[in-house]
Amino acid sequence: MNSCRNRFAGLLVVCAFACPPARAEDVGGKWGTEEREREYYPIVNIPIPKNLVIEAGAFCPLPDGRLAVGTRYGEIYILGGLDEKKPTPTYHLYATGLDEIFGLAFRDGAFYVTQSCELTRVTDTKKDGKANRFETLSDAWGYANYHEYAFGSKFDQDGNLHVALGLSNSYDSYALFRGFILRVSEDGKTKAVASGLRSPGGIGTNEHGALFYIESQGPWNCSCSLKAVTPGSFLGHPASFNWYKYAPEMGPVPTAPRSGSRIVTEKERVTQLTPYAVIFPYIRMGRSITGFVADQTRGKFGPFDGQMFLGDYTQSIVMRATTEKVNGVWQGACYPFREGLSTGILNVEFTAGGRLMCGGTNRGWPVRGMKPFALERLDWSGKMPFEIRRLTIEPTGFTVAFTKPVDAATGRDPKAYKLGTFTHPYHGAYGGPEIEKTTPTVTAVTLAADGLSARLALGKLIRGHVYEFDLGALRSRDQDELLHRHAYYTLNEIPAAK
C-alpha cells in the first residue's frame, strides 16, 4: 500500500474546498427558519465517547443495519444502535492506519476505502472483527501535497468505483491525473472517465442513478455546483489537460475554453464541456458543499423521496437538490433544508431506519457550527412541512410542486410568484459575480385542482441563467407559510413544446 502522509491536526480538506474566510454577516441565521425547521426535522445528537475523536469523512451502510464511519485520521468505526429514539450507540474500531477517508464502500465482506493516495481493499481474514489485510486496489494517480484530496463513490451496477481527484492547488495539476475522475473495477483496472475538476467535495449518484460530483467554488466555478459525469466529459477547469497523453480512452484534448465567456457559449465551442447541472448561489446556498446522498427511504424521511441531500462545510447546513435531463443535458434545482448543525458537514448518509446521519469537523477553516467534530442525526417528526417540493422546466415556464395543497387565492395570483435570474462569467479567476440579472414576469398561473402544483408561464426563458424563486406570498390551504420560500433552478436547456 502506498505511504500516505498523516497531516497535523490543523490541515483538512476544507482548505481545498473553500474560499475566503466567512464573515459573520454572511453565515448567521441565513435562512432565518431554524426554530421552524426543528418542528419538522429535529436534530438528534449521537453521543461520542470522551476518548474518541470522530471526524467523519465517509459513511457506509452495512447489510446488518449498522453504519461504518471513515474518519479524517484514517480509522474505520462500525456503529450500532443509531436508530434508537435516544441513541446510545456502540463503537467498534475495525481498522486504523489509513489516511483521510473520503470514500467508503462495502462488498462481499470487504471495505473499499478511498484515501488521497490510493483506493484500498480492507478485509478481516481472521474473522475477529479487526482488519488485518490492506491491499492496494488502485494507485493510478499522483499524490504530493495536502490539497490533493480524493473522493470515492459507492459501487455502480457494474461493480465499479469512481474516484474524483482534486487539483494540486486551485490552478494547477502537478501530479498524475489530478483534476480527473477515474473508474476502478473490482480487479483494480483503472480508466479515466472525465477531466476538468478543481476541488471536488463528493461523488455519487443522483435520484435517477446517474453519476454526479460536487464541485467547489473557485477558478472556472463562480459557485459550488453539481455536475454530471459521462465518459470523455470535460467539467470546466483546463488545468488537467496535460494528462490526456496518459488517458487515450478520453480522446483528443478539448479545445481550451476562453476565460471571460459564458458557459453556454463555450459549450458550443468545446464539445466535451459539461455545464453545471445545479448551481448553488454563493452564500445563499452554501459556500463549500460536500458529500451527498439520494433519499431511498420510501417516505421514511418525509415528502422528498428520491431527492438528493447535500452537506455544506462552512455553513454547517444540509440542502436538497433535484435533477432532470432535458435535450440530453442534466439540469435542476436546489432548495434550503436544515441549518443549525453543530460542526462543518463533510458527509451525510441514511441509516437503516431512514434517518439522515451528518458528520464532520471544524478543522482547518472557519465554520458556523461550534463543535470541533460531531455526529448528528436528522429525523422526520412525521409532521408535513409546507415546502416547495420540486421545480421542473416547461417549454414556456416552470411547474412548481408543493408538499401541501396551496390555497386558491394566493396560488392563482401571478404576483405571488416572484422570480429573478442571473448568470456567472465563465472564467479562470477565483469565484465571480452574479451578472446579467433580469426580473421575469409570470404572465399566467395554472393551479392544479388538488393544489399540489402550479404551472407558471413566463414571457421568455434564458439558457445559462439561474432562476431564483421567492414564493413567500403563497399560503397552504390551512394558511401555513412556506417553511423555505426560496429555490434556485439552473436552466441549461428548454424543452420543445409538445
Judgement on whether residues 231 and 355 belong to the same structural domain of the protein: yes
Nearest-5° Cα angle at 16, 289 to 241: 100
Judgement on whether residues 307 and 425 belong to the same structural domain of the protein: no
Residue 6 lies in a domain: no
Rounded Cα gap, residues 236 and 227, in angstroms? 10
Reported in sequence order, the residue ranges of 10-132 that DSSP labels E, i.e. its strands, are 43-45, 56-61, 67-71, 76-80, 90-95, 103-107, 110-114, 119-123
Residue 2 lies in a domain: no
Judgement on whether residues 313 and 418 belong to the same structural domain of the protein: no
Residue 7 lies in a domain: no
Q: Please identify, among 329, 352, 378, the residue that sits at the C-terminal boundary of a domain.
A: 378
Residue 457 lies in a domain: yes
Judgement on whether residues 312 and 223 belong to the same structural domain of the protein: yes
Judgement on whether residues 140 and 192 belong to the same structural domain of the protein: yes
What single-letter DSSP state applies at residue 428?
S
The position carrying cell 477565483 is 430
Residue 462 lies in a domain: yes
Residue 151 lies in a domain: yes
Q: Please identify, among 358, 378, 398, the residue that sits at the C-terminal boundary of a domain.
A: 378
Judgement on whether residues 224 and 298 belong to the same structural domain of the protein: yes
Residue 265 lies in a domain: yes
CATH number at residue 396: 2.60.40.1220
Judgement on whether residues 398 and 335 belong to the same structural domain of the protein: no
Can you give the residue range of the structural domain that contains 398? 388-491
| Domains held by the chain: number | 2
Task: Using the CB atoms, write b or e for 266-298: b if 16+ within 10 Å.
Answer: bbeebebbbbbbbbbbbbbbbbbbbbbbbbebe
Judgement on whether residues 367 and 392 belong to the same structural domain of the protein: no
Judgement on whether residues 172 and 284 belong to the same structural domain of the protein: yes
498 residues of the chain, pLDDT tens digit each: 443 433 333 334 434 343 443 333 343 446 668 889 999 999 999 999 999 999 999 999 999 999 999 999 999 999 999 999 999 999 999 999 999 999 999 999 999 999 999 999 999 999 999 999 999 999 999 999 888 999 999 999 999 999 999 999 999 999 999 999 999 999 999 999 999 999 999 999 999 999 999 999 999 999 999 999 999 999 999 999 999 999 999 999 999 999 999 999 999 999 999 999 999 999 999 999 999 999 999 999 999 999 999 999 999 999 999 999 999 999 999 999 999 999 999 999 999 999 999 999 998 778 999 999 999 999 999 999 999 999 999 999 999 999 999 999 999 999 999 999 999 999 999 999 999 999 999 999 999 999 999 999 998 999 999 999 999 999 999 999 999 999 999 999 999 998
Judgement on whether residues 463 and 362 belong to the same structural domain of the protein: no
Residue 461's φ and ψ, nearest 5 degrees, are: -120, 145
CATH number at residue 205: 2.120.10.30
Predicted local confidence at residue 479, as pLDDT: 97
pLDDT digits (tens, 9 = 90+) for 50-100: 999 999 999 999 999 999 999 999 999 999 999 999 999 999 999 999 999
Predicted local confidence at residue 250, as pLDDT: 98
Judgement on whether residues 426 and 367 belong to the same structural domain of the protein: no
Q: What is the pTM of this model?
A: 0.94
Q: Please identify, among 378, 402, 434, the residue that sits at the C-terminal boundary of a domain.
A: 378
Nearest-5° Cα angle at 24, 22 to 28: 105
Predicted local confidence at residue 27, as pLDDT: 39
Whether 164 contacts 291, CB under 8 Å? no
How many residues are listed for the chain in this entry? Answer: 498
Judgement on whether residues 125 and 218 belong to the same structural domain of the protein: yes
Beta bridge partner(s), residue 319: 310, 336
Residue 8 lies in a domain: no
